[in-house]
Amino acid sequence: MPVLAEAASHQTIVPSAEFPQKFNREAFLFHHTLTDHPLFKLPRLMELAKETQRTHKQDLYYDAGKDVAIGARWDEFAPAPPLDEALDRIENNGAWIAIHQAQHDPEYAAIYDQCMSEFSELSGVDFKKVMRVQDALIFITSPNRVTTYHIDRECNFLLQIHGSKMIHIFDSKDGDVLPQEEIERFWTVDNNAPRYKPELQNRARSYQLEPGNGVHIPVNWPHWLKNDNNISVSLSVNFTWHDSERGNIYRANHYLRRFLKPINFNPRPPFESSLSDGMKNAFMAMTYNPARAANRFMHKLKGDPVRAR
Ligand SMILES: [Fe+2]
């Protein structure tokens, strides 16, 4: 297959010393060579979106809305139009299309695997040992569309392929930007718990994304984006960690804070005490995780859509 051969025959990610120094610690820019790749031309992506809707529709999310506020909740958007309409009018309908699990298609799988293999080598981390869920996620967005402020569970390499846009990324360790209560709620009950604080916008690291560059976003680092006056295509090469310790500790802290509210209990954040972390992780692994797995299974059976971002 020519595309597979092309992906495997040359370096896709341009090496840089920042990978080993900053991986999952800091945001940083890098460069790639996918800008002219035929798999990311709009007609091919529209085929992929339609195929995703036909064969695993839970992996396709899209909406259309102009003048989206940075701090809007993603579950507040109006019902999405038919997919054909969203795709045909993408030039001016404010669309935001996310195709998850593009690696169901073997050609996109080859790109994902190639990128992950290179990221692994560059970062010095054997991703095969630490990844739980892999996701080749493609975003297609209308001119000037805002991607609302949020945090992700995934470790993310975002590659800009067509068009340009600005991304604003905040340090998750900044307790003013991302208070512990917000991150605990995110891991436990509300994907939109982190709230955008316009007065802290000047703490963002802002990167102009152009075709051929990309940015690494560590787990839980808040971010929002705005397209320039062009259609944008980006590939997010991302994965969740096999180790669920981080989530378990935040969830334990959420419940501790809630149940001990009368005494204003302030639980210790993760990664400060291995004893405290170990106890919380073990407890949540025994109680919360099996219940969550059963809940997920039921949603999958019903074909519910995946989380938008
Ligand atoms: Fe994100």
4 or 89: which leads in pLDDT:
89
Tell how far the Cα of 298 is from the centroid of ligand 1, in angstroms: 25
CA distances from 55 to 23, 48, 82, 148, 307 (A): 34, 10, 16, 28, 18
Tell how far the Cα of 222 is from the centroid of ligand 1, in angstroms: 8
Tell how far the Cα of 237 is from the centroid of ligand 1, in angstroms: 11
CA distances from 164 to 37, 67, 145, 216 (A): 17, 18, 11, 16
Q: Answer whether 30's CB lies under 8 Å from 18's CB.
A: yes
Ordered structural domains, the chain, with CATH: 2-241 (2.60.120.650), 245-302 (no CATH)
Tell how far the Cα of 158 is from the centroid of ligand 1, in angstroms: 9
Tell how far the Cα of 157 is from the centroid of ligand 1, in angstroms: 10
Tell how far the Cα of 2 is from the centroid of ligand 1, in angstroms: 31
Tell how far the Cα of 289 is from the centroid of ligand 1, in angstroms: 24
Q: Is residue 238 over pLDDT 90?
A: yes
* Predicted local confidence at residue 302, as pLDDT: 64
The DSSP symbol for 14 reads: -
Centre a 10 Å sphere on the Cβ of residue 214 and count the other Cβ atoms it contains.
28
Tell how far the Cα of 264 is from the centroid of ligand 1, in angstroms: 32
Task: Give me 258's structure tokens.
Answer: 């809630």
Q: Which residues pair with 238 in a beta bridge?
A: 135, 156
> For 184-201, what is each residue's pLDDT tens digit?
999 999 999 999 999 999
Tell how far the Cα of 223 is from the centroid of ligand 1, in angstroms: 6
Q: What would the mean pLDDT of 1-7 be, rounded to a whole number?
A: 42
Helix, strand, coil share (%) of the chain residues, nearest 5: 40, 25, 35
Tell how far the Cα of 58 is from the centroid of ligand 1, in angstroms: 18
Tell how far the Cα of 152 is from the centroid of ligand 1, in angstroms: 5
Q: Is residue 151 over pLDDT 80?
A: yes
Centre a 10 Å sphere on the Cβ of residue 66 and count the other Cβ atoms it contains.
12
68 or 211: which leads in pLDDT:
211
Tell how far the Cα of 53 is from the centroid of ligand 1, in angstroms: 22
Q: How far apart are CA 287 and CA 232, in angstroms?
A: 43
Q: CB under 8 Å to 306, separation ≥6 — which residues?
A: 58, 59, 61, 100
- Sheet containing 165-169: which strands, arranged edge to edge? 146-150, 223-227, 165-169, 205-209
**DSSP output for 116-143:** HHHHHHHHT--HHHHEEEEEEEEEEE-T
* Predicted local confidence at residue 308, as pLDDT: 38
- Enumerate the H helices of the chain as residue ranges: 2-9, 18-22, 42-55, 83-88, 106-123, 127-130, 180-188, 245-259, 274-302
